[in-house]
Every structure is written in C-alpha cells, then in structure tokens.
C-alpha cells in the first residue's frame, strides 16, 4: 500500500509543498499542477511538471535538481511541524487485524528517504510500524511505474504468487506497476482527482471512497476479542 495517501492522510499539504518549491524557484505553479509530481520518484516528478509547463523545451537538469531539493526541505519541515499530515487510524487498525489473520502488509513510497525518515520518527513508526516491510523508490532499479517496488515487497515478505498480492493506491502511477505484474487485486482509493477516463484505463479491481472501506473487500477470520471490540464500537456509534 502507498505510504502517502493510504497509511498517511496528507490532504493537500504535499501538493502545496511542491508548489511552494516551484514558486521559490521563480516558477508560478499552483498546487494542482505541482501535484502531477506525486507518485513519481524524486527528480522524475519535477521533470514531469516542467514538461507540462514547457512542452517544447527540454527541462534544465540544474533547475530540476534545485526544485527537488527545495521540495525535500519543505516536505521535511511540513512532516515535522505540519498538522495536515496524520496517520490513518482506520488503516493502522486494519493492519493489526490483517496481521492477526496471517496476512502481511507492505508499504511503498516515492518520497525521498530524508522525508520518510522524519515522517516515520514523528509517527513512531521507525520502531513500531503498522507494516511488515517498507520499500523506497530509491532502493530499486525500476521504481514506479516500473515493477521493482512490488517485486521487492514480495521478496522481503517471501511471497511468490502475484495473484496473492493486492496493491492499494490513490493515484494512477500507484497502480500502473500492479497492472503490469498482474497482481490479484488493484485497489484504487479515489481522492476525487482522477477523471473517469483515467480510472477506466487503470481498470481497478475495486474503487473505494476511503481507506477505511478496505475492510469491506475481504472476509477474513478474526479473533473473538476483535469481534467483541467491533461490536462495542458499533454499539457506541448508535444514536
């Protein structure tokens, strides 16, 4: 599952941070355009935005690297002090249930390792993460949209059958690798930023409104204490 967007609720904070990095470099870019970089590894995302801004020009490598460094610094500050980036409590709880049922959960991210380090420390996930493995784009040769991040997750968790793998993401790039590999499930958390044409091209196995809805996808055996907790939660939620 994507670290950013599934495990961590980032709202529009990351788009704003990317837009601020472009603007600090003298480029007038709004958060929606800057958001085109999300899901692409590091420099590739910045490069893609430049290609959209100046389709007839080759992006300047120095400018791309400079904006990337500015974006990393802004994201580090945002992750450390900003209140918009918060862990998804519903997904953390689901991970606990899945673990009890014998399933393994892996997280992937195209965020720079420096940002990930600050994020994990702030959430306490550097010591007790809700997932069993975390794979960064910079750790593999062919990151998203290539297949290596999923393959690395499978290798670390000892999974061989791709049909037993479910990929969960909130954007187009996050599911392109799963579709290449022929994973058993390609699950889209629709954040409202995708067009119907983009969703049709992805052909996801399931489309959900929020990460909490993942609980509806699979019927899994649970321990009696979890069943009791769920019953108590339903009772307390009644008007």
Q: Are residues 56 and 102 in the same domain?
A: no
133-136 vs 106-109, strand pairing mode: parallel
Q: Out of 30, 65, 81, pick the residue that ends a domain.
A: 81
Residues with Cβ within 8 Å of residue 65, at least 6 apart in sequence: 43
User: For every one of its 239 residues, what pLDDT tens digit does the chain have, with 9 covering 90 and above?
Assistant: 999 888 987 767 788 889 999 999 889 898 888 888 888 888 999 999 999 999 999 999 999 999 999 999 999 998 888 777 888 888 998 999 899 888 999 999 999 999 999 999 999 999 999 999 999 999 999 998 889 999 999 999 999 999 999 999 887 778 888 888 999 999 988 866 667 777 777 778 888 888 888 888 887 655 555 555 666 666 666 66
Residue 17's domain spans which residues?
Answer: 11-81
Q: Is residue 73 part of a domain?
A: yes
Q: Are residues 92 and 76 in the same domain?
A: no
CB atoms within 10 A of CB 207: 14
Q: Are residues 172 and 233 in the same domain?
A: yes
Is the pTM higher than 0.95? The answer reads: no
Q: Out of 31, 47, 81, pick the residue that ends a domain.
A: 81
Q: What is the DSSP letter of 25?
A: T
Please report the DSSP string for 58-111 in residue order: PPPHHHHHHHHHHHHHHHHHHHHH-SS-EE-HHHHHHHHHHHHTT---EEEE-S
Q: Are residues 147 and 33 in the same domain?
A: no
Burial 4-38 (b: 16+ CB within 10 A, else e): bbbbbbbeebbbbbbbbbbeebebebebebbbbbb
Helix (H, G, I), strand (E, B) or coil at 124: coil
Helix (H, G, I), strand (E, B) or coil at 172: helix
Supply 1's token pair: 């599952």
Q: What is the DSSP letter of 139?
A: G
Cα 119 from Cα 113, distance rounded (Å): 10
* φ, ψ (nearest 5 deg) of residue 143: -70, 180
């Amino acid at each position: 599952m994507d670290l950013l967007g599934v495990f961590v609720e980032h709202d529009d904070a990351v788009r704003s941070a990317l837009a601020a990095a472009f603007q600090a470099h003298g480029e007038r870019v709004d958060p929606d355009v800057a958001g085109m970089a999300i899901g692409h590894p590091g420099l590739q995302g910045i490069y893609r935005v430049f290609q959209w801004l100046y389709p007839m020009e080759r992006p300047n490598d120095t400018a791309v690297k400079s904006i990337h460094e500015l974006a990393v610094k802004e994201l580090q500050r945002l992750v450390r002090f900003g209140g918009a980036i918060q862990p998804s409590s519903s997904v953390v709880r689901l991970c606990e249930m899945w673990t009890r049922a014998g399933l393994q959960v892996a997280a992937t991210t195209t965020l720079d390792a420096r940002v990930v380090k600050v994020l994990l420390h702030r959430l306490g996930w550097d010591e007790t993460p809700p997932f069993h493995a975390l794979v960064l784009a910079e750790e593999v040769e062919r990151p998203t949209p290539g297949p290596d991040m999923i393959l690395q997750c499978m290798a670390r968790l000892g999974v061989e059958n791709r049909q037993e793998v479910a990929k969960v993401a909130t954007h187009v790039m996050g599911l392109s690798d799963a579709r290449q590999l022929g994973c058993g499930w390609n699950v889209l958390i629709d954040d409202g930023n995708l067009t119907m044409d983009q969703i049709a091209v992805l052909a996801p196995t399931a489309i959900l409104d929020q990460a909490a809805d993942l609980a509806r996808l699979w019927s899994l055996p649970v321990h009696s204490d979890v069943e009791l907790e769920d019953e108590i939660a339903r009772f307390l939620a009644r008007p």
